[in-house]
Amino acid sequence: MMASPPTPCAARASLLCLHLAVAMLAMLSPPAAAQGEQETCRAAAAPPRRGAWMSVASFGGAGDGRTLNTAAFARAVARIERRAARGGALLYVPPGVWLTGPFNLTSHMTLFLARGAVIRATQDTSSWPLVDPLPSYGRGRELPGGRYMSLIHGDGLQDVFITGENGTIDGQGSVWWDMWKKRTLPFTRPHLLELISSTDVIISNVVFQDSPFWNIHPVYCSNVVITNVTILAPHDSPNTDGIDPDSSSNVCIEDSYISTGDDLISIKSGWDEYGIAFGRPSSGITVRRITGSGPFAGFAVGSETSGGVENVHVEHLNFFSMGVGIHIKTNSGRGGFIRNITVSDVTLNGARYGLRIAGDVGGHPDASYNPSMLPVVDGVTIKNVWGQDIRQAGLIRGIRSSVFSRICLSNVKLYGSASVGPWKCRDTSGGALDVQPLPCQELTASTSGTSFCTN
C-alpha cells in the first residue's frame, strides 16, 4: 500500500505551490525505500468504532481530585468486558481530575480522555498491586521479584484504543523517584502504561506525564500504533523512558513530542539468559517525526536486546539538548542480534555525543548470565544527520570476538562551537561517505566493499 502525499495544490500552479511540491518531493524517501511505506501509520487512519458509550462518572466516580476512582474504573471495565461480543464500548473520562490506583483495560475498549480530563495516579504506593516479572527479564528490571502493576495495564488484550482530546495521564511519579533515590523501594517501579501480549493497539492524542518509571511499555505485542502523543517528565527524573517497544512486532510510532529523564524511545527485547531463552525479537518497527529532548538518548536500541531487534526504520527526528542523539547499546552476555536498522534525516541541536554504538553497556540480571553469549550487530545505517553544538562526534565500539559489521555513516555532519571531539572506533567494520568530522579509519579502510553504504 502506497499512500500518495497530500496535494493541497492539485488544481493550482502558484509559485508557493511549486515550492511546496518541491519541498514535499525532497521529503520523500528514494523510491526503493518508499515501497510499502505510508505517510501515516495505517491503523490510526481507521480507528475502531464502538457500539456503546459510557462515562466513568456513572460508575460512582468523581473527578474532584480527591475521590479515589479505582473501583469506578474497574466497574466500568468489567461492564465493557461483558459487551465484548457486541463490539465493546468507549469509556469517556470527562474533564476533571480522576484520582485512581492501577486498573486493567479490556479488549474492544476505547479509553477516551476529554479535553481537561486528567487520570491521576494515587501517591499511596502501598495500595499498588504486584504483577509477575516478565519471563524475558526473569525478575523486575530494577529489583528481584515482582513488579508494581502499571497505572493503566492490559494483558492478553485485542483491539484497545487510548485516545481523546489531549487529556492527561499523570503518574505523579515524584514519590516513586524519591523512594528510588533513597533505595527504599522493595520492588521495581510501575510503568504509566504497560500492555502485555496484546494486539491491535492504538494510542493517540494523549499526554503522558511524570511516570514513576518507563512511560509506555508494549511488551510481547503486535500491531501497535502510537501517534500524536506528548510525553513529559523532568530531565532529572530517573528512568522515565518515553516509549519502549519490547519483544514486539509491527509497531509504528510517529508525530510525537517527548521530553523525559531517560531515553525518549528505546527498542528492547529481553535481558540476558531470560531474554535468550524467551527468544522473542522486536521487528518491523517504524519511528518517524519525533521531536524532543532529554539527558540520555533520543532514539535508542537496547541495552536489553537478547531476543534480537531487526527491521527498524527511523526517520525525521528532531532532538535538542540531548545526552546522545542515537544510541545503539548491547553487551556481552546479551546474545541476540541488532540488524537491519536504518536511521535517517535527523537534526540534533546540542548533544554530548552525536552517535554511540557500543557493545559494553548495561548490567546483568544476576550472576547466571553467560558472558560468552555475544550479540551480533550487523547492518546499521545512519544517514542524513545534521548536528550543531555537538561535543563529541561519537563512538562505535564493537566486541573483539563479535566485530560490529556493515555499519554505515552517510552524510553525517556534526558541528560544535569548538572543534568536535573525533570519532572513536574499535572492533567495527563498515563504510562512511560524507562524514564530518572525518570518520575513524575502521569505517574508511573497509576491505569487504562498501556497496551497502550509499545515500
Ligand X SMILES: *[C@@H]1O[C@H](CO)[C@@H](O)[C@H](O)[C@H]1NC(C)=O
Q: Which x/- pattern over 276-315 shows residues binding ligand X (rule: CB under 6 A)?
A: -----------------------------------xxx--
* Binding residues among 187-226 for ligand X as defined by CB under 6 A: 205, 207
Question: Between residues 129 and 145, which has the closer beta carbon with respect to ligand X?
Answer: 129
Q: Does 84 bind ligand X (CB under 6 A)?
A: no
Min. distance of Cβ 197 from ligand X in angstroms? 10
Give the nearer residue to ligand X in terms of CB position, either 67 or 311.
Answer: 311
Nearer to ligand X, 158 or 166 (CB): 166
Q: Residue written as cell 562551537?
A: 417
- Residue 347 binds ligand X (CB under 6 A): no
CA 240 to chain centre: 11
Using CB under 6 A as the binding rule, whether residue 74 contacts ligand X is answered as yes
Q: Is position 165 an interface residue for ligand X (rule: CB under 6 A)?
A: yes
User: Would you count residue 6 as binding ligand X (CB under 6 A)?
Assistant: no
**Residue of 200, 241, 262, 272 marked catalytic:** 262
Residue 5 engages ligand X in binding (rule: CB under 6 A): no
CA pair distance 385, 179, nearest whole angstrom: 39
Question: Does residue 155 bind ligand X (CB under 6 A)?
Answer: yes
Closest to ligand X by CB, 148 or 213: 148
Q: Does 166 bind ligand X (CB under 6 A)?
A: yes
Interface stretch with ligand X, choices 83-91, 98-106, 246-254, 268-276 (CB under 6 A): 98-106
Q: According to the binding rule CB under 6 A, does residue 104 interact with ligand X? A: yes
Angle 438-444-447 from CA coordinates, rounded to 5°: 175
In the annotation, is 262 catalytic?
Answer: yes
Which residues between 14 and 73 bind ligand X (CB under 6 A)?
none
Residue 392-431 contact track with ligand X, rule CB under 6 A, x = bound: ----------------------------------------
* Residue ranges that bind ligand X, judged by CB under 6 A: 74, 102-104, 129, 155, 165-166, 205, 207, 228, 230, 311-313, 340
Residues serving a catalytic function are 262
